[in-house]
Structure formats: structure tokens, C-alpha cells
Amino acid sequence: MSDFFCQQSLRCHPATPAPVISSLDVSIGFMSDDRIAFRYCLRGDIARLRVPEPCLQAAQRTDMLWEHTCFEAFIGLQDEPEYREFNFSPSGQWAAYDFVSYRQRAENDPALPAPQITSHQTAGRLELEAVLPRTALPANLHAKHWQAGLTAVIEAADTVDAAHSYWALHHPATRPDFHHRDGHVLLIPAC
């Protein structure tokens, strides 16, 4: 069970239509054991999407997950330029990156434990849950809120160019840009 729970609908960027997807929702919640859960639920014609297969080995930290179907979270402290990007793949692979400001990577990626990622797929639904310790989020003793951008990249399987659609709570630019802080519109209590 979670102490804070919020469900939001992601919107497809108008420049990347995805008619085979009917909806994409994400929920975020703090669990009683001091962990945070991200739950994504995509509805549509899943057979027409390219979804990474689950890995048989332990989940590994992997770069470039956003080149295929991938669920993401961008978390920063309100009114601070730094933020952390999380990538969660249905394969179980994951990534985390720190940025000191807009698209400016920190020298080192954060040292974090692997999230627990589970995914389930049916003909009309793809669900992914990623669970992290609360300590994986950016920290500041004086912060009142985290500012989050919840996003997804969905890869189509039946198009000539394997087109991607880009989903977010808010798209502030004419081209998809998940790093744009004006797209990080969800405020989460940092208590």
C-alpha cells in the first residue's frame, strides 16, 4: 500500500501520432516500506508495438533504452536546475542519469541499486511497475516538493521506419523534449 498515490494520463506529442494506442496512464506512490513505485499502463493494439522481451538474467543497467519502448521518470527538486532521469524497460533493464541543468549530464551517473521491474503484457494492455528506494530520488533537506516529468517512448512494429511516439504529462515544445523542465509538471511532496 502507498502513502501518496497519484494517477495521471500521459499525452502523445502531436508530432508523433500513435493511433494504435488508446491510452497511457502512470501512477506514482510511496510505499509503507519507504520505497517509491511507478506504475505504467498502456492500452491499445500491443501486437502492433515493438516491446522488448524480458531478460532471463538479472536486470542490468543499460544505456540507450529510449531507442525502443521505454517508460521514464524525470525527477528534480522544485526550483532547482538539477534532475535525475530514470529509464525502465519491459525487458527489466534500467538506467539512471544525473543532470546538473538542462541536458547537461553530471560527470558521474548516480550509484543506485537496481529497481525492481515487473511487466505484464496481453493483447490489449502492457503494464510495467518499477520500484525504487526513496533514497534513489534527488535529496535536499530543505526541499518541499519534487518536480516530476512522467514520460514514455513507444516504438511501433508495423511501420516502415519503426516510428516512435513520445508521451508525457505535458509537452512544452513543438518537438518532443522530455528534458524541458516546463514538462515536469507533477509536484510530489518531498517529506
Say if residues 187 and 147 touch (Cβ distance below 8 Å): yes
Phi, psi of 143 (to 5 degrees): -75, 140
Q: Would you say residue 161 has pLDDT above 70?
A: no
Determine what percent of the chain is predicted with pLDDT higher than 70: 94
The number of residues making up the chain comes to 191
Band of pLDDT at residue 54, cut at 50, 70 and 90: confident
Residue ranges covered by each domain of the chain: 2-189
Is the predicted pLDDT of residue 1 greater than 60, yes or no?
Answer: no
Q: Does the pLDDT at position 143 exceed 90?
A: no
Q: What is the mean pLDDT of residues 116-131?
A: 95
Write down the pLDDT at residue 4: 61
- The CA distance from 95 to 50, in Å, is 19
Written as one letter, the residue type at 44 is G
How far is Cα 139 from Cα 158, in angstroms, rounded to an integer? 42
Cβ atoms within 10 Å of 90's Cβ, excluding its own: 25
> How high is the mean pLDDT of the chain?
91
Q: How far apart are CA 129 and CA 138, in angstroms?
A: 20
Q: Which amino acid is at 58?
A: A
Q: What is the pLDDT of residue 140?
A: 73
Q: Would you say residue 40 has pLDDT above 60?
A: yes
Q: How far apart are CA 60 and CA 182, in angstroms?
A: 31
CATH class of 2-189: mainly beta
What are the cell numbers at 164? 516512435
SS3 13: coil
The yes-or-no verdict on residue 25 having pLDDT over 90 is: yes
**Residue 147 reports pLDDT greater than 90:** yes
